[in-house]
Amino acid sequence: MSRPGRATSVGLLVVAVSFVVYWLADRGFDAGRGDFFYLADAFLHGRSWLDFAPGPYDVIVVGDRFFVPFAPFPAVALMPLVALIGPLSADMWEPGINAALAAASVGLCWWLVGRLGVRRLVDRGWLVLLFGFSTQILWVTTRGGVWHTGHLIATILTLACLIELWGRKRAFLIGLLAGAAFLTRAPVAFAIPFYALLLLPWLDTDGAPRRTIPWRAWVLLAAGVLPSVAGFFAYNAVRFGDPLESGYALATLPPFLDQLRQEGLFSLSHVGMNLQYFLLDLPRPIRDFPFFRPDGLGMSVFVTTPGLLLAIRADWRATRSWLLLGAAVVVLIPTLLYYGGGWLQFGYRYFLDSTPYVIALCGLAAARMGRIGPVWRVLIVFGVIVELMGVYWAYNNL
C-alpha cells in the first residue's frame, strides 16, 4: 500500500475509534437543549422563531415567539438531517450526532497536520490525541446542548479553512468556510484578515517578490465571506427589526450572569474573570476519587491541555507561524471581553475558537523537530487523563 493510502486508512481508523470514544462519553448525558434541531425545523417551515421555550435561560422571548440567540449556521447545516428524521428524533440522537461531529474534527486534524508536513504517522497520532482528547472537544461533546454543538461545528469549519490554506488555496472556498464559521461562532471572524495574509504568494515561494499582492485572491475571499455577513444582518432584521441586534443582549439569564451582563456585553471589566478561568483556575483537592473537584467555572489550560506548549517549538523565523499565532490571539480577545465566562465548563471552552490555530502551530513544531519526543508525549497523556476526569464530573454533579 502506498504511503498516502496508508495514511488515509489509518486516519479513517482514528476517526472511527474517536467516534466510539465520544459516543461512550456522551451517550448517557442529556443536555436537554437541542435548540438547533428545532430552529432547523423552523427554517424548513419558513420561521425564524420557535413556538416553545427550549429552556429557562439563553432564550429570547418576544410575545408568544421564542428566539434562539445563538448564531444560525449550525441550524442551517442540520436542516437536511432534520428534514429527513424530524427535530424530535434529531434531538434524541444528539449524542450520536455530536460524537460524529467531534470525530469529524479529529479526522480534519489528522488531515491538517499531514499537510503541515508531519510525516510520521505516530506523530500525527499524538497530535490528534492532543486535539481530540486533551482539549475542550471532549468536554463539549460529552455535555452536548446548543452551546457545545456550535463549538464543534465552528471547529470543523476553522480546520477546513486551514487545510485549504495549506492546500490548493481556493480563496472563494476559504471565504465561504470562514463566513459559515462566523455565523456559528462570531469571534472566529477576526481570523479572516490572517487568512488573507496567509494567501500572500511569497509565503510559499522564496523567489516571489514581496511586493506582489494577491488582489484577485483577496477579492474572492471577500466574496466568499459576503453572503454570511449579509445573512447575519438580514437574520437580525427579520427577527428584531434591527440588523445590528444579534439577540445576545436580550436573552434570559440566571441572576449572576445577568448582573455581569449589566456591566457590558463586552467590557474590560470581564477580562480579569476570563483570564482567571483560562489561565489560573485550579481544581480543589478532595479525599475521594478522583481526588480533585472542579468549580465548573473554568480550569487553567496548563492543567487541561499542557501539550499545547509544543507550539513554542514551531519555526518562529517563518511568517506563517506568526500569522497563526496572531489568529489565535485575536480570536480569543472578544471572549476575554465577554460577560459569559463559559459556565458551565471543565476548562475554558471559549479557547476552542483558538485551538485549531494552536494545533497547527503544534503540527509545524512536530514537522520541524522530526518527531514528538517523550516529554511532549507525557504532557499530552497528562492532559488526556485530566480531560477524562471531565467526563467523570459531567455525570457526577459538576
For 48-79, the DSSP string reads SSBSS-SSSSS-EEETTEEE--S-SHHHHHHH
pLDDT at 32: 86
Closest CA to 384 of 64, 50, 136: 136
Cell numbers describing residue 73: 449556521
pLDDT at 1: 42
* The one-letter amino acid at 300: S
Q: If you search the block for the grid coordinates 480569543, which residue do you land on? A: 332
Cell numbers describing residue 91: 434531538
CB atoms within 10 A of CB 266: 16
Closest CA to 320 of 368, 372, 373: 368
Per-residue pLDDT of the chain (398 residues; tens, 9 = 90+): 446 689 999 999 999 999 999 999 999 988 889 999 999 999 999 999 999 999 999 999 999 999 999 999 999 999 999 999 999 999 999 999 999 999 999 999 999 999 999 999 999 999 999 999 999 999 999 999 999 999 999 999 999 999 999 999 999 999 999 999 999 999 999 999 999 999 998 886 655 556 688 999 999 999 999 999 999 999 999 999 999 999 888 999 999 888 999 999 999 999 999 999 999 999 999 998 888 999 999 999 999 999 999 999 999 999 999 999 999 999 999 999 999 888 889 999 999 999 999 999 999 999 999 999 999 999 999 999 999 999 999 998 77
Q: How many domains does the chain have?
A: 1
pLDDT at 5: 86
246 phi/psi in degrees, rounded to 5? -80, -25
Q: What is the pTM of this model?
A: 0.95
pLDDT at 343: 82
- Give CA–CA dist 89/19, Å, rounded: 20
First to last CA, the chain: 48
Burial label for 268, CB within 10 Å (0-12, 13-18, 19+), is exposed
Buried b / exposed e over 63-74, threshold 16 CB at 10 Å, is eeebbbbbbbbb
- Give CA–CA dist 44/31, Å, rounded: 24
Q: Residues 335, 350: contact at Cβ < 8 Å?
A: yes
pLDDT at 289: 85
Q: Are strands 292-293 and 284-285 parallel, antiparallel or unpaired?
A: antiparallel
Query: Residue 131 belongs to what domain range?
Result: 3-394
Beta-bridge partner residues of 65: 62
